[in-house]
Structure 1
Amino acid sequence: MRLQILDRGYRPGTRLLFALVRLFSGYPPPDAAKFLFYRPEFYGAQAKRFTHEAMRGPSEWTIADRELMAAFVSTVNGSAFCVGAHTATATLAYQDAAKVQAVLDDLESAPIDDMLRTTLRMLGTLTREGTVTTEDMRQVLAAGVSHQQVRDALAVCAAFNTTNRLADAFGFEQLSPAGFEAGAAYLIKRGYR
């Protein structure tokens, strides 16, 4: 059930920003943006900083890899809006729709390196079960993933496990493929600010 709070209650400056987004992009602002601007001092400002750092901060993982992690975690959670948004963004970042879809369809046979596969496997376990074992972490490290890469992947996982739940709780409206592509272009260019 979509919560109507996302359609009202914004300050005049925010309403103007949303009108400009619609004017220049041809699309209304997605609910994800509306949510971050609703009472930003409570959640939005901190969430934007954390997510931007996880997704665009310094990392040995590429932007494409981190977007794929977001799409993968969202797929495990069954969060339709986030799957659409981050599948589109990972596809644009990699310039390879088949690769992204292969990972989301069957991680074990997807054409990716073992470091990324093992990391995604661990993120899937963490997302489904809420915990990982020492053995899960040993497998990730044995695949050649650095301790910093593990921390970076866990930050992506934390950001999107939170975002997935909020998207589903607030009933974020699905976008058209063109709407997701426009959002992906924005995220590639500007990040999560």
Structure 2
Amino acid sequence: MRPDILDTGYRPTTKLLFTLIRLFSRQPVPDAAKLVFYRPDFYGDAAKTFTHEAMRGPSAWSVADRELMAAYVSKLNDSAFCIAAHTATAGQASADDGRVRAVLSDLDSAPVEEGLRATLRMLGTLTREGTVTAADMRKVLSTGVTPQQIEDALAVCAAFNTTNRLADAFAFELLTPAAFEAGAKFLLKRGYR
């Protein structure tokens, strides 16, 4: 159930920011942005910091890979808003929409490196089952993925398992394809701050 507060519960400075976003982007403000600005002291500031670090901080994974991880986790959680948002962002980041669609359609046959495929499988296990084993980790490590890359991928997984649940709990409105593309352009330029 979508609470009305997502449309009305903001300080005057935030309302002005949302007006500027709508004016310059010619798109509605996504509910993901509304949520982080609603209670910045309780959720928003910490979520923005954590998600930005997971998605744009230093990592051997490219931005395109991490956005693909976000789209994949969102797909497993069947979070329509997040699937659309991160599919668009991963597609723009990699300049390869077909690769993104292939991963979301059938990971086993998708044209990705084996280390990324193994990492996505591990994130899938964690997302579906809530746990992974040492054997799961050894499979990923055997492909040449480093422990730090696993840690970075787990941060992406944590960020989007949380965001997916919030998006669905608050019934985030789906945007038009053009709005998701505009949002992807913004995320690639500014990140999650």
Please, what TM-score do these two structures have when normalized by structure 2? 0.99
- Distance in 1, matches of 2:3 and 2:180, equals 21
Equivalence for 1:189: 189
* Residues 67-78 of structure 1 aligned to structure 2 (within 5 Å): 67-78=67-78
* Residues 55-66 of structure 1 aligned to structure 2 (within 5 Å): 55-66=55-66
1:45 maps to a residue whose letter is: D
- Distance in 1, matches of 2:122 and 2:90, equals 19
- Distance in 1, matches of 2:26 and 2:68, equals 26
Moved more, 1-10 or 116-125: 1-10
Aligned partner of residue 59 in structure 1, secondary structure: coil
Equivalence for 2:22: 22
- Distance in 2, matches of 1:63 and 1:130, equals 25
Please, what TM-score do these two structures have when normalized by structure 1? 0.99
1:75 maps to a residue whose letter is: K
Unaligned runs of 5+ in 1: none
Superposition deviation, residue 15 in structure 1: 0.1
Please tell me the root mean square deviation across aligned C-alpha atoms, in Å: 0.5
- Superimposed CA distance per residue, residues 75-109 of structure 1 (whole angstroms, 9 cap, x where no aligned partner): 00000000000000000000001000000000000
- Superimposed CA distance per residue, residues 39-86 of structure 1 (whole angstroms, 9 cap, x where no aligned partner): 100000000000000000000000000000000000000000000000
- Distance in 1, matches of 2:44 and 2:169, equals 16
Unaligned runs of 5+ in 2: none
Equivalence for 2:48: 48
* Residues 146-161 of structure 1 aligned to structure 2 (within 5 Å): 146-161=146-161
- Distance in 2, matches of 1:3 and 1:172, equals 10
Give the number of aligned pairs.
Answer: 193
Equivalence for 1:129: 129
Aligned partner of residue 87 in structure 1, secondary structure: helix
1:88 paired with 2:92, answer no
Structure 1 segments, 4+ long, off by >6 Å, are: none
Identity %: 71
Equivalence for 2:108: 108
